[in-house]
Chain A
Amino acid sequence: NAGVTQTPKFQVLKTGQSMTLQCAQDMNHEYMSWYRQDPGMGLRLIHYSVGAGITDQGEVPNGYNVSRSTTEDFPLRLLSAAPSQTSVYFCASRQGIGRYGYTFGSGTRLTVV
């Protein structure tokens, strides 16, 4: 049981490049979310999904895309990387209705130069 797996752990991008951050969970959790963590800003919600085929925007969605074609996977796409997207990205999942505790991945540290 691996929990929530994020890849890659580190990435450097040039401004304007695109990439996909991968997130997979093996706990059959319905809910999955992406957060970004910046110094002094806590964890801010980018996008979330309440089940396969359903996604919604969070607090800071601009510049990011998500899709949820399977229960297990919830990739985050950066369309055209900007220095403001330099951050640590965390994927989290939890069970469905009535189960609130999130399990977090170990994060992806992204630098955009």
Chain B
Amino acid sequence: GENVEQHPSTLSVQEGDSAVIKCTYSDSASNYFPWYKQELGKGPQLIIDIRSNVGEKKDQRIAVTLNKTAKHFSLHITETQPEDSAVYFCAASKGNTPLVFGKGTRLSVIA
């Protein structure tokens, strides 16, 4: 089955700097790649997603890139703010199968 690896497990950046989180997946048939943000004591919340027919997608300060050949995708957060501090999860799925998640990245934005 699908296996998703996520790096790094922790990331600290200065406020205003960029943050990049990377994930790799094993199943070349996977075609949907979402990113979730989880704040303390809350459930994960979808922040951006990308389908396999698109190479990049942006939403304000957040962007996701996908390299199908290398089977990896990345989350880019620019101009980081303290409220970006959270745990971020990547995930992958194919067709209508359930999402398989990475193990998460704890992002700390230092003011």
Binding site for B on A (CB under 8 A): 4, 31, 33, 35, 40-45, 48, 50, 58, 90, 92, 96-97, 100-107
Size of chain B's interface in residues, with CB distance under 8 A? Answer: 23
Known contacts A106-B42, A106-B43; is-contact A100 B103 (Cβ 8 Å): no
Q: State the Cβ distance, B67 to closest chain A Cβ, in Å.
A: 20
Q: Is the interface of A mostly helix, strand, loop or mixed?
A: strand
B43 touches A104 (CB 8 A): yes
The CA of A46 and the CA of B99, in the complex, are separated in Å by: 12
The chain A residue with its CB closest to the CB of B9 is A40
A100 touches B42 (CB 8 A): no
Binding site for A on B (CB under 8 A): 6, 9, 32, 34, 36, 41-46, 49, 89, 91, 93, 96, 98-104
Evaluate contact between B49 and A100: CB separation under 8 angstroms: yes
Contact A101 B49 (CB under 8 A): yes
Known contacts being A33-B98, A100-B49, is A107 close to B34, with CB within 8 Å?
no
The reply to whether B43 and A42 form a contact with Cβ atoms under 8 Å apart is: no
Q: Which of A44, A101, A102, A105 is most buried by chain B, counting CB atoms within 10 A of its CB?
A: A102
| B43→A105 contact, CB < 8 A | yes
Contact of A90 among B9, B32, B44, B103 (CB under 8 A): B44
CA distance A45 to B93 in the complex (A): 12
